[in-house]
Amino acid sequence: MAKVTPRAQDYSEWYLDVIREADLADYAPVRGCIVVKPYGWAIYEHMREFLDRRFKETGHVNAAFPLFIPLSFLQREAQHVQGFSPELAVVTHGGGEELEEPLVVRPTSETIIGYSYAQWIRSYRDLPLLINCWNSVVRWEKRTKPFIRTMEFYWQEGHTAHATHEEALEEVMRILDVYYDHMRADCALPGFRGRKSLYERFAGALTTYSVESMMGDKRSLQSCTSHDLGQNFARAFEIKFLDRDNTEKYCWTTSWGLSWRLLGAVIMVHGDDQGLRLPPKIAPIQVVIVPIYKTDAEKSIVFETAGRLFQTLKAAGMRVKLDDRDETPGFKFNDWELRGVPVRVEVGPKDVANGMVGLARRDRPGKEGKSFVSQQGLAEHIHTLLQEIHQSLLQQAEHFLHSHIRECNTWDEVKEAVEDGWALAPLADNPANDEFIRNNLTAKTLNFPLDQPEGEWTCVVSGQRVRERALIGKSY
């Protein structure tokens, strides 16, 4: 009766099965694109609300910029165009006529936003300019996977301009922390903040920072990025300001993004053989109440209690659903487990008589996660339980992550480590080393974690003395 391929049997099949069975998304009739169904979108919406709040708390405002970008804009920044050219969707015709200048469907908006910023910014008083956009972008990807890599994907992209490099750097790190906190506090996803290697940095950036997450198959997912763009885009788009000293200077800009791929990470990190396991904060339904009855008489008393509990939990601010479908309890249990609902409340005739309810927590399988508790104080109880479930999911993921990272000091150790996780190894930040890794392993440099042990070691590739270790692993 299993509808979901066991995770251990075929991780990729399992992932696709969960997406289908939990009703998150469908394939679209266009290659590499997906249709996100209401349940999947609801999760994304919650993630978005939390992030948006954090952006606003740190002084950012939202705005919108065009989907189409003149091709020439992309070409103004040499590295940028080189990096993105292979994956551009280009519009050459409109209204039945060939366009004078092709329009690019935005792969990211640095260029078109740079154009506006150049017009908006005149004085140091206009800085910093802190804008975020919720939109979708298009990249002509060769190989796609729902949520993880789609040709069109929804995300947010932040773009800021500052008077000094120091301020820009502060912004880059502030956002990296916003992402990191969002991942942990809202999505129960641990990860490593770090600097991308020069080889892996964003096309056009001075430095790129990322959070790397470990999926259930021990491959890495770059969950988000925050870029120090230096003055590269400011020079390309003439984003200048008159400083206090009455001299004209180029701005220092940043950009940063987090996409719906993070939802893919939530599925991959927390899901199990029963299906999805959602962190309570982003679960569209946090508590489901399943009534249990045989006769009509039982039905009516059970529903009376279930309805009352529903109102109580709702009034306590929880997203709760009373499942009144005409299905057997067993069916409903499995159904909601598949959809990852964190807490299930079971109300049967015995419970009504005893003033109790059955409680099942999704983070623990089977009987282990089941208990019976009093209807008195149920809201408080579940409120605490939801927090516990969040912590438990985070801890499980963290344990998995840390137990699959190995400190390595030689190339042979790295080679072995990436077969079952990530290596943390001394590495010189030189593109030649990245290429060596990519050419000799099916792994790559993930990032140089911000938290580094003190010391000096020998680079596992070049033999140089270095003071930094990099995470190396297979990745999506």
Partner RNA sequence: CGGGGAAUGGCGCAGAUGGUAGCGCACACGGUUUGGGACCGUGAGGUCCCGGGUUCAAGUCCCGGUUCCCCGACCA
Binding site for RNA (CB under 7 A): 1-4, 12-13, 16, 20, 27, 30-33, 83, 86-87, 139, 141-146, 148-151, 153, 200, 202-203, 222, 225, 257, 259, 261, 274, 292-294, 326-331, 333-335, 337-338, 346-351, 358, 360, 366, 370, 438, 442, 474-476
Respond yes or no on whether the N-terminal peptide bond of residue 128 is cis (omega within 30° of 0).
yes
- Contact at 8 Å (CB) between 6 and 323? no
**Least distance to RNA, CB of residue 244, Å:** 36
Tokens of 144: 């796609």
Question: Distance between CA atoms of 163 and 20, rounded to whole angstroms?
Answer: 48
Question: Distance between CA atoms of 167 and 59, rounded to whole angstroms?
Answer: 14
Nearer to RNA, 144 or 164 (CB): 144
Tokens of 89: 């969707």
Nearer to RNA, 153 or 237 (CB): 153
Nearer to RNA, 368 or 380 (CB): 368
Question: Distance between CA atoms of 37 and 153, rounded to whole angstroms?
Answer: 14
Q: H or E segment at 290? A: strand 287-291
- Contact at 8 Å (CB) between 283 and 340? yes
Nearer to RNA, 145 or 406 (CB): 145
440: three-class secondary structure by DSSP: helix
**Least distance to RNA, CB of residue 272, Å:** 12
Tokens of 94: 């409109």
Nearer to RNA, 308 or 350 (CB): 350
**Least distance to RNA, CB of residue 95, Å:** 25
- Contact at 8 Å (CB) between 141 and 176? no
Cα angle vertex 165, ends 163, 167, to 5°?
A: 70
**Least distance to RNA, CB of residue 152, Å:** 7
**Least distance to RNA, CB of residue 362, Å:** 9
**Least distance to RNA, CB of residue 245, Å:** 37
* Helix and strand element counts for the chain (H, E): 15, 25
DSSP E strand stretches across 123-181: 129-138, 152-162
Residue 281 DSSP label = G
**Least distance to RNA, CB of residue 248, Å:** 32
**Least distance to RNA, CB of residue 292, Å:** 5
**Least distance to RNA, CB of residue 208, Å:** 8
Nearer to RNA, 231 or 334 (CB): 334
**Least distance to RNA, CB of residue 360, Å:** 5
Question: Distance between CA atoms of 284 and 130, rounded to whole angstroms?
Answer: 30
Q: H or E segment at 43? A: helix 38-57
254: three-class secondary structure by DSSP: strand
**Least distance to RNA, CB of residue 456, Å:** 30
Buried b (16+ CB within 10 A) or exposed e, 423-455: bbbbbbbbeebbeebeeebebbbbbbbeeeeee
Nearest CA among 388, 386, 354, 392 for reference residue 373: 354
Nearer to RNA, 128 or 332 (CB): 332
- Contact at 8 Å (CB) between 212 and 446? yes
**Least distance to RNA, CB of residue 442, Å:** 4
Nearer to RNA, 430 or 458 (CB): 430
Determine phi and psi for 62, rounding to 5 degrees: -95, 150
Cα angle vertex 313, ends 307, 315, to 5°?
A: 100
Nearer to RNA, 128 or 257 (CB): 257
Nearer to RNA, 351 or 468 (CB): 351
Question: Distance between CA atoms of 336 and 287, rounded to whole angstroms?
Answer: 10
Residues contacting 275, CB < 8 A, separation 6+? 4, 18, 21, 22, 337, 338, 339, 340
Nearer to RNA, 249 or 329 (CB): 329
Tokens of 242: 């008159």
Nearer to RNA, 32 or 128 (CB): 32
